[in-house]
Amino acid sequence: MAGKTLFDKVWDAHVVDTVPNGPQVLYIDKHLIHEVTSPQAFSELEERGIPVARPDQIVATADHNTPTVDQHLPVRDLLSRNQLKQLTENCEKHGITLYGLGHKYNGIVHVMAPELGITQPGMTMVCGDSHTSTHGAFGTIAFGIGTSQVAQVFASQCLLLTKPKSLRVNVNGKLKPNVLPKDVILYVISQIGTNAGTGYFCEYAGNVFEEMSMEGRMTVCNMSIEMGARGGMIAPDQTTFDYVKGREFAPESAEWEQKLEYWKTLPTDADAVFDKEYSFDAADIEPMVTYGTNPGMGIKVTGRIPDKDDVNLEKALAYMNFKKGESLIDKPINYVFIGSCTNSRIEDFRIAANYVKGKQKAANVNAWLVPGSQQVAKQLVEEGLDKVFTEAGFALRQPGCSACLAMNDDKIPEGEYCVSTSNRNFEGRQGQGARTILASPLMAAATAVAGKITDITKQLN
Amino acid sequence: MEKFRKITDTAVPLPIENIDTDQIIPARFLKSTDKQGFGDNVFRDWRYDHEGNKNPDFVLNDPTYSGSILVAGDNFGCGSSREHAAWAIAGYGFKVVISSFFADIFKGNALNNGILPIQVTPEYLKDLLQTIKEKPETKLTVDLENQILSSPAGELEFEIDPYKKVCMINGYDDIDFLISKKDKIEAFERERSF
């Protein structure tokens, strides 16, 4: 019999029951919730008189619909305020831990859970948010669910699921200077497309991922859903263990030793077989930018927009106001957003700060920096990065999802381009008529300084 | 959940690929805390301009086409996990979505809200869209019990998870089933070794 994959090992350890010729009942270790996708699930339970089964395995935060300025004041938008109030009431009523607005642990759900040690290898984790795939960086089965499923986990701490197929993406070799984890995943998606992973759970393997920091691995796993995969995982190793150890909710002493022993058994067996596999050479990857309206529409910053007859391409370019065959270099850009669950961790801000230090933001650019959590915000100050940014003319805001999905007031105006470190460049994603160009924190910082898209491969090293 | 057995109705063609959940229901409409009213804003930014005027070129504003079946391009429902997308589709009155490919999370959300996602081959989809465009009065029949989609583009047997089929036909959802497994879940919690 062929060996097991990392995914198989974690999945099999959580199967409670199997419906004959049907789905399996999968046990969920941690359930993360936020204000937008949970209220209807709480209502569902209440209408049916069902209690929350395991409130101590749920952690709540407010992130999607929160302001990123003046968080100490009442939220101005009435609907947003009501949504936050409902989350607070629901958590109080059911005994669920909430890191609400202003709490020292508040932050984007996929930033705060890993940094608190809530996310651990070998777990199953869910959240009503498709970027829950982020936590797969720890060797965790983590995926986004709909609100009906949020209610199911509330009611039973389990989900009914059909085991997905397995996919492995291998990237080996040496990355060029200034190629960041964001570029790696944007490159992979540009090569295999936005639905190559649909129906699959992905594992990222190869020395490129092994050599990445946990922050980098989270950026990669975060975007698994952008190629259609419900989740993406990276085998836990010493980098993972070192990151988790000593965090607020990480296991300690004997429990740590016991879990560590188990975590070390999780990596995919050498003889495991995947349903689908892709391999890439790290040397082929360059800093990336997107030109269209899905994350698969990406090119090297030095490249040109494809010139081919394709109605989808034409529709996307009409929205973006770009032409087939053109280069994006020197395109004027008035908005830059560094933030989101993809790239709002301390490492992302260190990279951006390192670039802007001693430089000035271009006069035409509005540069919004939104840390992923209160802890990241605090660390920015401790490391003096806040000064670097403010001296360069960047606006440092308070934590939240912000302009990634523009549910709050952080909207990019109609027709404007935004070079964004977020994960989706869909039509209207950052505001009605806004045009998103996805890129790494380094590309975003360089754009803010130049006021236009620049070829950073020529600038550095 | 409403029971679903058989539907015969006209269809609305939307031949755009990669329709993401932000197009189905933009994030700024996700501030509601109940499931009602999302249908009013389905495909909002394609249906209306910035001032709230109807865009006459969009199919939902074209009186030629109507019905409870939506026929859409490849990779329908990609993007976010927001179930608001399924509530918006259902709220508008669609009971069936036909496409050549569905994103995973949307597909699950649809089934959990009594919307039947039917996956067809790209060729069938192309023929079907052409047929509806030429003859908007064309009626399609969706027979869930026998898993048959009938249209002038041909009769097609479609796939659905057998468990989900039972749920749709009877109007069950997963919560009752999962709660019935309480003893097994508690035994799992006691016996797990890690």
- Rg of chain A over CA atoms, in angstroms? 21
Q: Determine the Cα–Cα distance for residues B157 and B144; give it in Å rounded to an integer.
A: 10
Which pLDDT belongs to residue A458?
86
Is the separation of the CB atoms in A67 and A96 below 8 Å? no
Q: Are A272 and A203 in contact (CB under 8 A)?
A: no
**Side chain identity at A342, as an amino acid letter?**
T
Q: Which of A75, A53, A342 is nearest to B175 (CA)?
A: A53
Nearest CA of chain B to the CA of A179: how many Å? 25
Would the CB atoms of A158 and B181 count as touching at under 8 Å?
Answer: yes
CA-wise closest residue to A29 among A104, A100, A113, A130: A113
Residue with tokens 């919307």, as numbered in its chain: B115
The H helix count followed by the E strand count for chain B is: 8, 8
CA distance A263 to chain B (A): 10
Measured between beta carbons, which residues in chain B are less than 8 angstroms from residue A25?
178, 181, 184-185
Sign of CA dihedral B188, B190, B193, B194: positive
Nearest chain A alpha carbon to B34: A40
Structure tokens at A457: 């491969």
Q: Three-state DSSP class for A395? A: strand
In tens, the pLDDT along B123-169 reads 999 999 999 999 999 999 999 999 999 998 789 999 999 999 999 99
How would you classify residue A318: left for phi > 0, otherwise alpha for psi between -120 and 50, otherwise beta?
Answer: alpha
What residues of chain A lie within 8 A of the CB of B111, using their CB? none
> Is the separation of the CB atoms in A210 and A179 below 8 Å?
no
Q: From chain A, pick out residues whose CB is under 8 angstroms from the CB of B35.
A: 40
Which residue among A16, A122, A228 sits closest to B185, beta carbon to beta carbon?
A16
A10 to A6, A99, A303: CA distances (angstroms): 6, 28, 40
| Helix H or strand E segment including A166 | strand A165-172
Residues belonging to the binding site of A for [4Fe-4S] cluster are 341, 401, 404
Q: In whole angstroms, what is the distance from residue A172 CA to residue B138 CA?
A: 53
Taking the C-alpha atoms of residue B100 and residue B114, their distance in angstroms, rounded to an integer, is 20
Distance CA A149, CA A144 (A): 10
Torsion of Cα atoms, A458 then A459 then A460 then A461, to 10°: 50
Does the pTM surpass 0.90? The reply is: yes
Query: A424: which chain B residues are within 8 Å (Cβ-Cβ)?
Result: 20, 22, 79
Please check whether residue A339 is in contact with residue A438, taking contact to mean a CB–CB distance below 8 angstroms.
no
Cβ atoms A24, A141 nearer than 8 A: no
Residues of chain A positioned with their CB less than 8 A from the CB of B45 = 427-428, 432
* A200, A166 Cβ separation under 8 angstroms: yes
pLDDT at A1: 73
pLDDT band for position B21 (50/70/90)? very high
3-state secondary structure of A404: helix
Residues of A in contact with B20 (CB under 8 A): 294, 424, 426
| Contact residues, chain A, for B27 at CB < 8 Å | 64, 405-407, 429
Query: CB distance A146–B109 less than 8 Å?
Result: yes
Q: List per-residue pLDDT tens for chain A, 461 residues long.
A: 789 999 999 999 999 999 988 899 999 999 999 999 999 999 999 999 999 999 999 999 999 999 999 999 999 999 999 999 999 999 999 999 999 999 999 999 999 999 999 999 999 999 999 999 999 999 999 999 999 999 999 999 999 999 999 999 999 999 999 999 999 999 999 999 999 999 999 999 999 999 999 999 999 999 999 999 999 999 999 999 999 999 999 999 999 999 999 999 999 999 999 999 999 999 999 999 999 999 999 999 999 999 999 999 999 999 999 999 999 999 999 999 999 999 999 999 999 999 999 999 999 999 999 999 999 999 999 999 999 999 999 999 999 999 999 999 999 999 999 999 999 999 999 999 999 999 999 999 999 999 999 999 888 54
A210 burial (CB, 10 Å; 0-12 / 13-18 / 19+) is middle
Write down the H helix ranges in A271-412.
311-320, 346-356, 374-382, 385-391
Task: Report yes or no for ipTM above 0.85.
Answer: yes
Percent of chain B scoring above 90 in pLDDT: 94
Chain A interface, best mutation among B41, B175, B184, by max A CB count within 10 A: B175
- Interchain pair A195, B75: CB under 8 A: yes
Say if the Cβ atoms of B113 and A407 lie within 8 Å: no
* Residue A86 near chain B (CB below 8 Å): yes
Confirm if A165 and A203 have CB atoms less than 8 A apart.
no
- Return the residue of A nearest to B162 by Cα: A22
Q: What is the pLDDT of residue A334?
A: 98
Locus of tokens 């009594």: B114
Q: Which two tokens stand for residue A416?
A: 């404007």
Q: Is A131 strand, coil or helix?
A: helix
- Nearest-Cα distance to chain A for B6, in Å, is 23
Task: Determine whether the interchain pair A149/B108 forms a contact, defined as Cβ–Cβ distance below 8 Å.
Answer: yes
Is A432's CB within 8 Å of B50's CB? yes
Nearest-Cα distance to chain A for B164, in Å, is 9
Write out residues 301-340 of A within 8 Å (CB-CB) of B.
312, 315
How many other CB atoms are found less than 10 A from the CB of residue A350?
17
CB contact under 8 Å between A27 and B162, yes or no, is no
